[in-house]
Amino acid sequence: MNQFKMFFGVLEKLQSANVHVYQDRCAVVRNRHASCTRCADACTSGCISYADNVLTISPEKCIGCGTCATVCPTCAIESENPTDAELFQSTVSAMRAADGVAIIACERMLQAAKGLYDPDKVSSVVCLGRVDESLIALMALAGGKKVVLVKGACEQCEHCVGLDTAELVCETANKLLEVWNNPLRAEISDRFPKVAKLDAKQKKPYDESRRAFFRGVKDDAKVAVGTIAEYAVNDALGRDDEPEPAEKPAARTKVNDAGVLPQHIPTRRKRLLKVLSEMGEPQDVVIETRLWGHVVIDKTKCKSCQMCATFCPTGALTRFKDKDGTVGVMHYPGCCVKCRCCTDICPNDALTISDKVYARDLMHGNVEKYPMDPPELMDDGVHQTASIMQKMSPHSQVSIH
């Protein structure tokens, strides 16, 4: 069995009530030479593992934490239980009850603190690795004062690797909020903020039905909002309330009439950029985060195959042809998710990805053009792509439709 079909079939096993899988977005499904293993590296339960060039999915081990969705650069995996919209609604409701402090706690901590906190002021996740930067930014846009992620005894938890993801997310979110001049900050704590604690007279039994909130949200109408910020928040959540159409199984990845594989800008990235734009202009600085990258092409090494644009899953790299006949590839950092499909597919190592991008480039759609020599094979669109791929890799799974 070739590696493409192996990944395409195995990844499908991850599909469940906890996560939805979009296989065509996966970097490794798109390119069997791709180096991305982030979901396996971040998996908290051993459900996803990768060793000796073999991906293994053990569905029975999944705990529904959603950490794999947090780290997936292309949103090939998306959390479903709760969805991002449901988690937002739970968190903003708790934040309002807690005087502007958004408190999110892992289930281990909530079990250990039964009766010691006010469940109306705390949002629950299986693991803190479920929280991503767009959720923290939404709390800032909704007028929050602070985001506190409350962890249990992680050193004793078999799923402790999720804390690494949570720490990275907080670091990234805080950096962005600082550059966008927003005062909210996110932190990780092993204690509940004072506003959520109950004294001896207030103690209540632990509300086991709290988890049912997420299921109920799907059927409830959205809470009416009264401020511009809240309207912007709901607008930024966008289509998260509606499931995307299911993808039909396919035997191989197909290029379209333009000669590129299917492209999709991750929902969370679009939402985060939209929220940041609502905050106004950022400082005119270079930022370095886990989220965006800047592709640099060495023209002395480039052979003009343009496979980087063919395989780019988000359209951060696209082909261009000017009126004067100049051809090449252009790059938009705002759509780059650092999946490294481009560097992995380049046969001449002509591409590198810098972690540093200008904050204002993300907001204004600035692109960088790389003019190239005309490709060796001059057929247009899909035929050119198939011809080049056949030359580069006789066993390629790219096909024409």
Residue 400 is predicted with a pLDDT of 43
* CB environment 175-198: b (16+ within 10 A), e (fewer): bbbbbbebebbbebeeebbeebeb
Give the rounded percent of residues in the chain with a pLDDT score beyond 70: 76
Is the pLDDT higher at 232 or at 206?
Answer: 232
Residue 7 is predicted with a pLDDT of 57
Tens of pLDDT, residues 222-231: 333 334 345 5
Tens of pLDDT, residues 72-85: 999 999 999 899 99
* Confidence band, pLDDT 50/70/90 cuts, at residue 203: low
Please name which of 115, 119, 121, 120 lies closest in space to residue 203, comparing C-alpha atoms.
115
- Out of 173-177, 186-190, 245-249, 311-315, pick the least confident: 245-249
Give the tokens for residue 82.
């709760």
Around 18, how many Cα atoms within 13 Å sit in the side-chain half-sphere?
Answer: 17
Tally of residues, the chain: 401
* Confidence band, pLDDT 50/70/90 cuts, at residue 156: confident
Integer Rg of the chain from CA? 22
| pTM summary value | 0.83
Domains for the chain: give ranges and CATH numbers.
Answer: 3-80 (3.30.70.20), 84-240 (no CATH), 255-266+285-400 (3.30.70)
